[in-house]
Amino acid sequence: MSLRAAFDVSKCSPHGITTVAGYIAPADQWKAVEERWNKQLGHAGLEAFHLAEIKRQYGTHWLDIVRPFAQIVRDVGLRSATAMLKDTDWAVADHDAAYRKICPHREHACLDLIFGVVADDVRLEFENQPVALVFDNDYGNHKAVVRVHSAWCQRTGHAGFNIYRKGEMAWDSVPLQCADMVAGLLRVNPFSHALLNDDLRSIDDNDPVAEVAHTTLSAGRGAMWSAPIAIKVEALLRRKGD
């Protein structure tokens, strides 16, 4: 399939923000990214891009290493697809047994959100072309991804996607590194925390982390969930029903 997407999960313990994020693009765009990405890896002295390792290795200067990679995906025009939720709100929410069986952990809940984002983007931007989705090995096992995907298809009536796991596709290396970058940046982005906490007054427009994170999100769609957002959505739906 010419349309490809790759996704990674980023989370912290014991609480914070959990994200599932990545990019959707035709094969020719991924090829353009791969050429520039591998060249930048050599320039930075990296074998592969792993945001957590870069932050550990470079300390306060980690953004200087990440910024050129973020610019690559922006220059090529990859479309981001993102989902995030506030851990503490999700943990205390009243989830029934059927939901917990499908989404036992917060990364599965975020995974459930991402499928709707991908469906909308493929429909609106790519004329519903068949798309291959590859996921990193962060969900327990491949069966967990398939379980959440199948439940989402049953709930929405969507025909579903072609799902693959890391290592099953020859093209997955650089796309999953790109996904690692955007998922990790989205989780530490102060804008993410402000949005999920419904506290836009706390946003600093000059924050360097936000600047780099927004570079990776220059085009695309996303979904988010937290208690304040859920309350607002419920109120809107009630008003619409009236």
- 182-195 pLDDT, tens digit per residue, is 999 999 998 898 88
**Partners of 25 in the beta sheet?**
4
Q: SS3 of 62, please?
A: helix
C-alpha distances in Å from residue 111, one per residue of 2, 44, 61, 236: 23, 32, 31, 25
Q: SS3 of 241, please?
A: helix
Decide: 180 and 138 in contact? Cβ < 8 Å: no
pLDDT tens by residue, 47-68:
999 999 999 999 999 999 999 9
Q: Which domains does the chain have, with CATH numbers?
A: 3-241 (3.30.420)
Report whether pLDDT(151) > 70.
Answer: yes
Rounded to two decimals, what is the model's pTM?
Answer: 0.92
Half-sphere exposure of 81 (CA within 13 A, CB side): 27
pLDDT tens by residue, 96-108:
999 999 999 999 9
Q: Which two tokens stand for residue 172?
A: 């997955």
